[in-house]
Amino acid sequence: MQEKHLLGLEHYPAEDIVSIIDTAFSFREVLDRPIKKVPSLQGKTIVNLFFENSTRTRISFELAQKRLSADTVNFSASSSSLKKGESFKDTVQNIEAMKIDAVVMRHPDPGASLHLTKYVDAVVINAGDGTHEHPTQAILDMTSLQERFGKVKGLRIGIIGDIMYSRVARSNIYGLKKLGAEVILCGPTTLIPPHIDSLGVRVTHDLDEVLDWADAINVLRIQLERMDRGLFPSVREYRNLFGITSERLKKHKKEIVIMHPGPMNRGIEIDSSVADGKEAIILDQVLNGVASRMAILYLLLGGKPENN
């Protein structure tokens, strides 16, 4: 691994992303065994530092750590001294003082994981920093695409929904472009950030165009509070324009793979019939999430890449 930390994919080497994905497949085998545990990270201590609630990501990381036999400590903002006004710096320096090997952090502020690296010697893994990046999500998404298509290069991927406030979208764009996929973004004009085309992606507001073109679509969760801020007028209208429904998919001959980072708003951005349908790989994403995070932890904490 060329980088000590995993803060984002924008500047992450493509070959290291490939190593992670390859290693993730090795760990997928472990997860299929009756005893799903390897001693790879025995004696290593990892802190899951969650300044923002995220049950899914935290559980996925925790499980990955347990499968690798690491010691883990969970620290969440609600149980912490942060409420008593302790600064971010004091909190993380306290944790550092306890001789930790890695910190997995979720934080509501963009750039928070880079900021963390200034105060700790431990390996930092970004589990989502505000609207900036969520690299482990993008890696698990790419692992799932690789599993399904046998490759990522040359794939046509549509990312649908709230691009503006999505760390998943940003990390996916960087990762997919690095591995040679084509990316198109689709969502309401008010949720597409300015100059996003500078990242080498196309933008459209016509969902049918994407459904005609794409091999797979990644459907993002729409935060309902965006509606209160006037970024889209109603759930009904959002669904009409960007909702992934069976009827809409049927208009297009070819079948496309459906992904969603969860948690889903069923009936809004995606219909149950689609989410539970045979083209959806949403539950594979969850399993690949554990395998990818095992690979990331293993490689960043000293393991060697495995190739199959």
Q: Which residues form the interface with other proteins (CB under 8 A)?
A: 10, 87-89, 107-112, 114-115, 129-133, 167, 170, 193-196, 198-199
Nearer to other proteins, 130 or 262 (CB): 130
- What DSSP string describes 6-40? B--STTS-HHHHHHHHHHHHHHHHHHHSSS----T
> Position 206: which residue type?
D
Name the CA dihedral angle for 152, 155, 159, 163, rounded to a multiple of 10 degrees: 70
Nearer to other proteins, 133 or 269 (CB): 133
CB of 115 to other proteins, least distance (A): 5
Nearer to other proteins, 38 or 114 (CB): 114
CB of 113 to other proteins, least distance (A): 10
| C-alpha 25: how far from chain center | 17
What stretch of H or E contains 95?
A: helix 88-97
CB of 112 to other proteins, least distance (A): 5
Task: Give the chain's length.
Answer: 308
Nearer to other proteins, 45 or 223 (CB): 223
Nearer to other proteins, 30 or 114 (CB): 114
- What DSSP string describes 176-229? HHHTT-EEEEES-GGGS-TTGGGGS-EEES-HHHHHHH-SEEEEPPPPTHHHHT
CB of 133 to other proteins, least distance (A): 7
CB of 93 to other proteins, least distance (A): 11
Provide the pairing of β-strand 45-50 with 71-76.
Answer: parallel
